[in-house]
Amino acid sequence: MTNEELKKIWLEKFKSVPESLKKMATVKSVATAFNTNVDAVLKVKGNRILELAKKLNLSLADLQNITHTKLESPEDVLKGLFRCFSRGIAEEWLTEDKLVYDWMVENLGYDRLQMGGQGGIVANALAVTGVQKVYAHTNSLPELQAKQFLELDNLLSFDEQGQAKPAHTINRELDIPLIHWMLEFDKGESVTIGGQTFTCPKSNRFIATYDPLNLHLVMDKHFIAQMAEEPVEYIVLSGFHALTERNNGVKLQDDVIPIINQWKNNGDLIHLEIASTQDLAVRKAIIKKIAPIVDSIGINEREAIDILEVTDFDNLAQKCNENTHSVNMFEALMNIKKHIKAPRVQLHMFGLYITIQDKNFKISPEANLRGMMLAATVAAGKAGTGSINNPENLLWAQGQTVSDVGLNELRDLAQHLNKPELISSGITEIEGYDIIAIPTILVEKPVTLVGMGDTISSISLVGAR
């Protein structure tokens, strides 16, 4: 079949998406934990970097003298920003120093504030789709954080007394804002320092984070008590990637395992979103301790490769790094599935989503397919409009055809597996596992990609009705 013929088949399949969205209102309750914060987004031009460097009396040699990637002083903020700007790369450096935080508040500012952290982003996304109750874990909820939650009565968190209220109405006045500065810069911007001109080769961002509570996995006791008293249908977990071995990150995971097991015993379906985890000891612990006890895992291409690197699949990791296409990534996903033994593993890559799940998984392959198509449509709506805070944007991409990129990736995978039915049905079976794969709708010039993976994973699972 040609791609044009396949597009018609998938367009017909995607007609189920509006009905899938309506069924989200039948989901009684979902919880998201653990990381919620404020993203302060600032577009940085070359002359601003020069201005701040002069203010701190930093020479070119100073800016390039990087001995650590932690924000221990205001000078480190500029070093990280200049490094990322001049190379066109993305990095995140952390601080727990209140003086550095105060300097950033006074000297950086922001263009806009938005919800940050997987937990917060997923809570907003699920609430706007119509889930009856969404409980958002917040270890800090001052007014600044509360304003990042949508003004929806079904989106709940807890005040100082432990009362569940619409999250946007709460102001825990003694809590401190947890702010991640998203310092964005554009390709082609230049800065001249020390007689040399540096031109940014690729649009990207440097993240300067002050988040002492999430760095230590501080949990809200009221949220934990609520989850024990009133089981929910789904819990979407994240935030472990912020831990470090230096900050006792491995032991902190041990402390949360009994809580996760209790939730499972209550009948909650637990999904873990594995974000990019830089600390190797923490990453190994997540794969060894947390991932095997959850029901479902969500990863992108980079995160899949990260897992391979700490599970003795170095050759496959290198192979995927060199050629990040559907055949290699399916091999990666299958090895991850067998190693971790989680019942369900989902990969979201450019143009294609793939799920591998046990035969007896609680959600059927057909329902998974519907959830994944809903997620693909909502993700395209987010990319195309810049936000799904308004319900009308959820189906912005409905009626658009799936991409040639996705169809070609799916075709290559179907041929590799010798499962021709996969390319038109999206469902097959390999080695006793159910395989679900869909080509996605791609937006040529996305307004935003922030939080896209979290949105895809959560809606794929919760929307599988």
Do 419 and 337 share a structural domain?
yes
Q: Evaluate whether residue 146 is within a structural domain.
A: no
Pick the range with the lowest mean pLDDT from 175-179, 362-366, 421-425: 175-179
Q: Evaluate whether residue 51 is within a structural domain.
A: yes
Examine the pLDDT at 324 and tell me if it is beyond 90: yes
Mean pLDDT for all residues in the chain: 96
Q: Which helix (H) or strand (E) element contains residue 389?
A: none
CA angle 234, 239, 241 (to 5 degrees): 130
Do 44 and 17 share a structural domain?
no
Do 396 and 315 share a structural domain?
yes
For the stretch 91-127, pLDDT in tens is 889 898 999 999 999 999 999 999 999 999 999 999 9
Q: Domain with 99 in it: what CATH number?
A: 3.30.1110.20
Do 181 and 261 share a structural domain?
no
Do 50 and 18 share a structural domain?
no
Do 351 and 206 share a structural domain?
no
Do 196 and 316 share a structural domain?
no
**How far is it, in rounded angstroms, from Cα 104 to Cα 356?**
44
Do 314 and 279 share a structural domain?
yes
For the stretch 393-405, pLDDT in tens is 999 999 999 999 9
* pLDDT for the residue numbered 297: 98
Do 449 and 336 share a structural domain?
yes
Q: Evaluate whether residue 126 is within a structural domain.
A: no
Do 61 and 11 share a structural domain?
no
Examine the pLDDT at 449 and tell me if it is beyond 80: no
For the stretch 293-322, pLDDT in tens is 999 999 999 999 999 999 999 999 999 999
Which candidate, 102, 95, 111, places its Cα nearest to that of 48?
A: 111
Examine the pLDDT at 214 and tell me if it is beyond 90: yes
Which candidate, 251, 347, 370, places its Cα nearest to that of 299?
A: 347
Q: Evaluate whether residue 194 is within a structural domain.
A: yes
pTM of the model: 0.91
Do 22 and 45 share a structural domain?
no
Q: Domain with 237 in it: what CATH number?
A: 3.40.1190.20
Q: Evaluate whether residue 227 is within a structural domain.
A: no
Do 322 and 202 share a structural domain?
no
For the stretch 41-85, pLDDT in tens is 999 999 999 999 999 999 999 999 999 988 999 999 999 999 999
Phi, psi of 195 (to 5 degrees): 80, 0
Domain count, the chain: 2
* pLDDT for the residue numbered 92: 85
Q: Evaluate whether residue 34 is within a structural domain.
A: no
For the stretch 250-281, pLDDT in tens is 999 999 999 999 999 999 999 999 988 888 99
Which candidate, 464, 451, 465, 400, places its Cα nearest to that of 125?
A: 451
Examine the pLDDT at 240 and tell me if it is beyond 80: yes
* pLDDT for the residue numbered 447: 85
Tokens 């039948």 correspond to what residue?
26
Q: Evaluate whether residue 339 is within a structural domain.
A: yes
Q: Which domain does 85 fall in, by range?
A: 39-115+176-211
Q: Evaluate whether residue 9 is within a structural domain.
A: yes
